[in-house]
Chains A and B, each alone.
Chain A
Amino acid sequence: MDDDAPVIYGLEFQARALTAQTAETDAIRFLVGTQSLKFDNQIHIIDFDDENNMINKSVLLHDAGEMWHISGSPADKAVLTTCYSKTSESRVLTCAAVWRMPPEWESGSHESPDDSSNNPQTLELLCHLDNTTHGSVACVLWEPLGDGKRVISLAENHVLLWDLQESSTKATISSTATLEGKGQLKFTAGKWSPHHNSTQLATANDTAIRGWDLRSMSQIYCIENAHGQLVRDLDFNPNKQYYLASCGDDCKVKFWDVRHINEPVKCLEEHSHWVWSVRYNHSHDQLLLTGSSDSRVILSNMVSISSEPFGHLVDDDDLSDNEESQQEDKGKEPLQDSIIATYEEHEDSVYAVEWSAADPWLFASLSYDGRLVINRVPRALKYHILL
């Protein structure tokens, strides 16, 4: 049986929003939010059964509107945020809210998976991240590794830090920052750094990447013209605190050391159209996933700038146990940066890619036509990294 074959799941609607269920560490679970102006939007909970190579899905109704962004709480696996657009008085506004999944969704879907679409359960609204004064929300970020009480929303040119209180049913703005400048500035993406005690944030607007200190809510660095065109996404290296990956409309993926912002550390140009999403693997930061509107997903192995440039470091105890492996290790050449694989299962632009929170060797990608593809890191590479 070929375990490396991709698993494909089709949604009925177009979709852009994808996230792994961050707080879930046992099951491989992804959340997909649909985007439809005319029908009721849904959140699909995709459970992947690794052993049987099968997908179980459950559908929850999200009747507030089409989803642009979705994000799961790191503390409570039932809690998530969405950014959705709401049309009122011929005005389209993107709002954000915190939701809780109904407790029965799991049992219900398992009992009767076939008619789950007929009477799907609805998400329970916990609170709105009220944005009437600040404009459309681009994305909502949970505090990484936090207790699920703090979120940041990026609305137009504002950074809003929220405190969730009373089991997330009440949200209050604790501090804000505003990006001032010429023209209409608008954040397109952001990422909350897991390092420095979660006190830093990186945002993208137009071609610039900015770093923020959340204690003083002030800008700490700014990479002007980080990309030739719009910057679409960012991600922090989970193991190296100053390293940051970005992607954009110039088809490039760039790696930055935020202490030296004049030049990127490295630059990849493998996609043939805009790169919409970039993600570091949570455990092995040499593995990098990118999704692009050329309908391709590329998995790269960036060993040279990873936290393990000479391969996996074996503990001394292991070495004394096994002399042979020690010699083998010495003879092993450091791996070269390379493209591991290009996945071409998608037919339309891929707007989101995400690693599984539970299994570091598994990832999902979502294209606009609603196709979700789950892939694995090639086994040979996996063993190479582990051994």
Chain B
Amino acid sequence: MISATTPPDSDPTGRRRVHSMLKLYYGLNEEGKVVEQAESLDPCDINGPHFDPEVYLNKLRKECSLGELMDHESCTVKQIRSLDSDMQTLVYENYNKFISATDTIRKMKNDFKKMEDEMDCLSANMAAITEFSAHISGTLQDQHAQITKLSGVHTLLRKLQFLFELPARLNKCLELQAYAQAVSAHRRARCVLQQYSHMPSFRGIQDDCHVIMEQLAHQLRQKFRDGGSSAKDLSECVELLLQLDEPAEELCDKFLSHAQSRLEADLQGLEAELKDSPVTDTDILEFIDRGCNEFVSNLCLVIASYQELFINQMANGKLHVFVDTLAARYFSLVERRIQEEKGVGDNSLLVRALDRFHRRLQAISKLLPGSAVPSQGTEIVVRAARERIKQYLSALQTFYHDSLTDVRQALAAPRGATSKDATPSLTELLTSLSNFILNQLKSVLASVHLFTAKDITFSNKPYFKGEFCSQGVREGLVVSFIKLICQSSRQYCESAGDRGGSTPPALLLLLSRLCLDYETSTISYILTLTDEQFLVQHHTPVTPVTALCAEAREAAQKLLNHYVKVQGLIISQMLRKSVETRDWVNTIEPRNVRAVMKRVVEDTTSIDVQVGLLYEEGVRKAHSSDSSKRTFSVYSSSRQQIRYAPSYTPSAPMDTSLLSNIHKLFSERIDIFSPVEFNKVSVLTGIIKISLKTFLECVRLRTFGRYGLQQIQVDCHYLQMYLWRFVSDENLVHFLLDEIVGSAAHRCLDPSPMEQSVIEVICERG
């Protein structure tokens, strides 16, 4: 039965359970720690420590039925049995272990006994060795003491000899000018002499030494004062003097003043070079080189030796002041020299010079960490770069103006030659002009680009990375130049004066096309090129391409408008003179077209050719099939009759202008001096509009006789025959010419128009 309920050995889990129960009994939990046994205070818990059998039994008797009691009893008996068997097993196991432990202890006892014997033997041997050693040292002790004494005496004698020889040695050193040796020798002896100065012999030596050292110090000071020696000598000198207990502050001042005088000599050398030789003699690189090699390296030396010598005694402040004042002078010289560098031909020299200048100043920053000198140097470089950009801008400006002058001359020159030579040159001039400008700009950009080259030390300064590229090059140079082109173009429109004579119209046309080209492509090309070359990162707002393009377009528009105006005025002037100077009342019957009209047509044709070279044709309204013949209907005699007939009836005046009024009602208002489009037709339309309107206004101010009117008819017909082809809308020409003839008829004392056929014959005859 027991084996059936709890098989003691066969099942590990069963054993574990037994162990754990035992542990529990002894108050240990799984981890071997005492368990809080709060839960087992119940006296009825059969496993708890406070178990009270009486209470338990009473409880059982009270609560359980007989059957249950029987069951419980058998169960309890079963448990008791199993516990008994467990206990037996444990007792047996413990007994076995105890037996084996006893065996082990017995064995250990035997081993220790053997070891004890060996230890006794060892201690006997050691005692013998100690004895021998004591004996040996006893015999050697006397001799050792003697040797030590002898060596002490020898050293003392050597020292004494050194002391006695000291004055002579110092003298010799003095003769040989081996000051350093002398000072170090004296230093070694000084303390001893001081200590034993109460003894007459030593005192003598000390006095001698004093005299010699005084002499030496004097000589050193002399040497120091002369200042002729090199910086290295000087610092050596100072070092020695310091060791001779010279007052450090005084020395320091003296040292600095000497250094200053020498550095100033360098500076004067530079200044003299700056003054004497014109810029062409030595280039800036040589100048900077000299400055670096002489002044800056000396300055570095001074700083280094100062720090070596005085840094413990003195504050750095003095040195800073010293360096700053000298550097300021040096910088002013350098700046003067840079300012003289005006030629814009070769930028690389300047950049290299600045680079060297900047690089050498870095040495100072290493030597003298707190100094403002390197940053001032950087500022000079920055200023130089800014200045350079300005110079390039003005150089570009002069270049632009020069090339414009060239163009102007080229335009003026071929006047004498045949027109065929002159005409193609306009396109050539345009391309060459824009190429010139673009190339110049590119070369300037390349020059400026040197400032940001990788091997240049200052190129990684924040200014050159950011502001220089965006504000300096892009805004200050490229954008300003483009703006300048636009602005000077606009000036041509204004300064060209109201008479329009000073600027040749062809130049206006050419510039207008140039500005338009800039608007369409060149500006964005240049700016992209700049941005790429300089990797511009726009931290600050920059002028956008669109704004520049708009400006260029505006300039182009203005120029073209002005061109139209100027050309229109030239033709207007001819027409006005021709109308104003003639006596229209008493003129003879027209036999041919007046020469001025032929001239007008000729000029218009040549303008057409000129504009055609630079601008596209443009759109025009569809022509009627025979535009030149259209005059037939306009001036047909029948219509003329209609128009002029009412003049003979008294009630007519209302009708006279009826036709033209109706025409006006339905046609759009014509703006005479209005902006034109960028094409040939529009330009020509503008010019013709201006000319014909002038013609109209002049005609209205005159009074005509019969033949005067007829002459106007002939002239207008002639213009009609030739001008329609130039304009975008031929109706415009028709309308204006209609108005002219109509107005002339109104202003005519004897309006009897000429037969259309006669007009045609006259016009065809030319």
Contact present for A90 and B498 (CB under 8 Å): no
B654 → A minimal CB distance (Å) = 6
Chain B residues with Cβ below 8 Å from A370 are 657
Given A90-B586, A225-B498, A348-B664, does the pair A272, B746 have CB atoms closer than 8 Å? Answer: no
| Set of chain B residues within 8 Å of A251, measured between Cβ atoms | 673
Interface: A273 (CB within 8 A): yes
Cβ-based interface call for B240 (8 A): no
Interface class of chain B by DSSP? loop
Is A156 close to B, CB under 8 A? no
**B700 part of interface (Cβ distance < 8 Å):** yes
Write the nearest CB–CB distance from A310 to chain B, whole angstroms.
30
B672 contacts A229, C-beta separation under 8 Å = no
B654–A85 CB distance below 8 A: no
Which residues of A lie under 8 Å from residue B498 when comparing CB positions? 225, 227-229, 250, 252
B664 touches A39 (CB 8 A): no
Point out the residues of chain A lying under 8 angstroms from B647, CB to CB. Answer: 38
A293 within 8 A of B: yes
Q: Which residue of A lies closest to B675 (CB)?
A: A272
- Residues of chain B within 8 A of A348, CB atoms compared: 664
B703 and A272 within 8 A (CB): no
Which residues of the other chain, A, contact B672 by a CB distance below 8 angstroms?
Answer: 272-273, 293-294
Is A355 interfacial (CB-CB < 8 Å)? Answer: no
Partner of A344, one of B669, B674, B700: B669
Instruction: Report B-chain residues with C-beta under 8 Å of the C-beta of A349.
Output: 697, 700
User: A369 interface residue, CB < 8 Å from B?
Assistant: yes
Identify which of A13, A90, A250, A344 contacts B653 (C-beta below 8 A).
Answer: A13
Q: How far is the CB of B206 from chain A (nearest CB, A)?
A: 97
Distance in angstroms between the alpha carbons of A154 and B680 in the assembled complex: 45
A205, chain B: closest CB distance, angstroms:
14
Whole-angstrom CA separation of A312 from B180 in the bound complex: 96
User: B544 within 8 Å of A by Cβ?
Assistant: no
B647-678 interface bits toward A, Cβ cutoff 8 Å, 1 = contact, 0 = none? 10010011001000100110001011110000
Complex CA–CA separation, A38 to B645 (angstroms): 13
Give A242 Cβ to nearest chain B Cβ, in Å. Answer: 23
User: A272 touching B654 by the CB < 8 A rule?
Assistant: no
Q: Which residues of the other chain, B, contact A344 by a CB distance below 8 angstroms? A: 669
- Within the complex, the shortest CB–CB distance from B660 to chain A, in Å, comes to 8
Would you list which residues of chain B between 544 and 595 have a CB under 8 Å from chain A? 569, 585-586
Interface assignment of A91: CB less than 8 Å from any CB of chain B: yes
Shortest beta-carbon distance from B391 to chain A in Å: 33
Contact of A87 among B497, B661, B749 (CB under 8 A): B749
Query: In the bound complex, do residue A225 and residue B499 qualify as a contact, i.e. CB atoms below 8 Å apart?
Result: yes
A62 and B647 CA atoms in complex are apart in Å by 19
In the assembled complex, which residues on chain A have CB atoms less than 8 Å from the CB atom of B703?
Answer: 37, 85, 87, 92
Per-position 1/0 for A341-368, Cβ under 8 A of B: 0001001110000000000000000001
User: B residues 158-178 with Cβ under 8 Å of A?
Assistant: none
Chain B nearest CB, measured from A346 CB (Å): 10
Binary CB contact string for chain A from 90 to 106 against chain B (1 if under 8 A, 0 otherwise):
11100000000000000
Across the interface, A228 reaches (CB within 8 A) one of B497, B657, B748, namely B497
User: Does B408 belong to the interface (CB within 8 Å)?
Assistant: no
Mask, B405-427, CB within 8 Å of A = 1, is 00000000000000000000000
- CB-based contact A293/B500 at 8 Å: no
Kindly state whether residue A48 has any CB partner on chain B within 8 Å: no
Instruction: Tell me how far the C-beta of A40 lies from the nearest C-beta in chain B, rounded to whole angstroms.
Output: 10
Taking CB atoms, residues of chain B closer than 8 Å to A293 are: 672, 693, 697
Annotate A220-234 by CB proximity to B: 1 below 8 A, 0 otherwise: 000001011100000
Q: Is the CB of B499 within 8 A of A37?
A: no
Query: CA of A90 to CA of B708 in the docked complex: distance in angstroms?
Result: 12
Give complex CA distance A76, B499 in Å. 44
Q: How far is the CA of A252 from the CA of B497 in the complex (A)?
A: 13
Min CB gap B191→A, angstroms: 92
Contact string, A262-306, partner B, CB cutoff 8 A, digits 1/0? 000000000011100000000000000000011100000000000
Contact, CB under 8 Å: B673 / A272: yes
Q: Which residues of B contact A369 (CB under 8 A)?
A: 657, 661
Interface residues on B, range: 20 to 34
Q: Is B585 within 8 A of A91, CB to CB? A: yes
Residues on B with C-beta less than 8 A from A228 are 497-500, 569
Quote the shortest CB–CB distance from B232 to chain A (angstroms).
72
Q: Which residues does chain B contribute within 8 Å of A250, judged by CB atoms? A: 498
Please determine whether B661 and A273 come into contact, CB atoms closer than 8 angstroms: no
**Which residues 210-226 of A have a CB within 8 angstroms of B?**
225
CB distance from A331 to the nearest CB of B (A): 33
Docked complex: B672-710 residues within 8 A CB-CB of A: 672-674, 693, 697, 700, 703, 705
Q: Mask for B729-766, Cβ within 8 A of A = 1, else 0?
A: 00000000000000000111100000000000000000
| CB of A12 closer than 8 Å to a CB of B | yes
Return chain A residues, CB-CB under 8 Å to B654.
Answer: 12
Contact A37 B673 (CB under 8 A): no
* Chain B residue with the shortest CB-CB distance to A37: B749
Cβ of B650: which chain A residues have Cβ within 8 Å of it?
Answer: 39
Residues of B within 8 A of A36 (CB): 653
Report B-chain residues with C-beta under 8 Å of the C-beta of A87.
585, 703, 749
Nearest chain A CB to B333 CB, angstrom units: 47
Contact for B669 among A13, A225, A295, CB less than 8 A: A295
- Which of B500, B672, B705, B748 is packed against the most chain A CB atoms within 10 Å? B672
B499 cross-chain contacts in A, Cβ below 8 A: 225, 228
The distance in angstroms between the C-alpha atoms of A13 and B497, with both chains bound, is 39
A347 adjacent to B665 (CB under 8 Å): yes
CB distance from B626 to the nearest CB of A (A): 30
Contact between chains at A273 and B693 (CB < 8 Å)? yes
- A14 in contact (CB, < 8 A): yes
**CB-CB nearest in chain B for A344:** B669
Q: How far is the CB of A71 from chain B (nearest CB, A)?
A: 19
CA distance A98 to B99 in the complex (A): 168
Chain A residue contacts of B497, Cβ below 8 A: 228
A227 to B500, CA, bound (A): 12
What is the distance, in angstroms, from A348's C-beta to the closest C-beta of chain B?
7
User: Which of A37, A92, A347, A368 sits near B700, CB closer than 8 Å?
Assistant: A368
Task: Note all chain A residues with C-beta closer than 8 A to B661.
Answer: 347, 369
Residues of B within 8 A of A14 (CB): 657, 746
User: Please, how many angstroms separate the alpha-carbon atoms of A250 and B693 in the complex?
Assistant: 13
User: Once the chains bind, are A347 and B664 in contact (CB under 8 Å)?
Assistant: yes
- One digit per residue, 1 when the CB lies within 8 angstroms of any chain B CB and 0 when it does not, for chain A 1-32 equals 00000000000111000000000000000000
What is the minimal beta-carbon distance from B507 to any residue of chain A, in angstroms? 18
Chain A window 48-87, contacts with chain B (Cβ cutoff 8 Å), 1 for yes, 0 for no: 0000000000000000000000000000000000000101
Contacts of B748 in A (CB 8 A): 37
In the assembled complex, the CB of B77 is this many whole angstroms from the nearest CB of chain A, namely 117
Residues of A within 8 A of B500 (CB): 228
Known: A37-B747, A229-B498. A272 touches B664 (CB 8 A): no
Interfacial chain A residues near B669, Cβ < 8 Å: 295, 344
Min CB gap A193→B, angstroms: 25
Q: Select from chain A the residue with minimum beta-carbon distance to B655.
A: A12
CB-nearest residue of chain A to B657: A369
- Contact residues in A for B673 (Cβ distance below 8 Å): 251, 272-273
Q: Do B746 and A37 have beta carbons less than 8 Å apart?
A: yes
Distance in Å: Cβ of B181 to nearest Cβ of chain A: 89
Q: Which residue of A lies closest to B651 (CB)?
A: A12
Which 8 pairs between the two chains have the least Cβ-Cβ distance? A228-B498, A273-B672, A272-B671, A347-B664, A12-B653, A272-B673, A92-B703, A90-B585
Interface residues, chain B, with chain A CB atoms under 8 Å away: 497-500, 569, 585-586, 647, 650, 653-654, 657, 661, 664-665, 669, 671-674, 693, 697, 700, 703, 705, 746-749
Beyond the given A273-B672, A273-B693, please list 17 additional residue pairs across the A-B interface where CB-CB is below 8 A: A14-B657, A36-B653, A37-B703, A37-B746, A37-B748, A39-B650, A90-B586, A91-B585, A227-B498, A228-B500, A228-B569, A252-B498, A272-B671, A272-B672, A293-B693, A368-B700, A370-B657
A to B CB contacts below 8 Å, 13 in the list? A12-B653, A12-B654, A13-B653, A85-B703, A87-B585, A90-B585, A229-B569, A272-B671, A293-B697, A347-B661, A349-B700, A369-B661, A370-B657
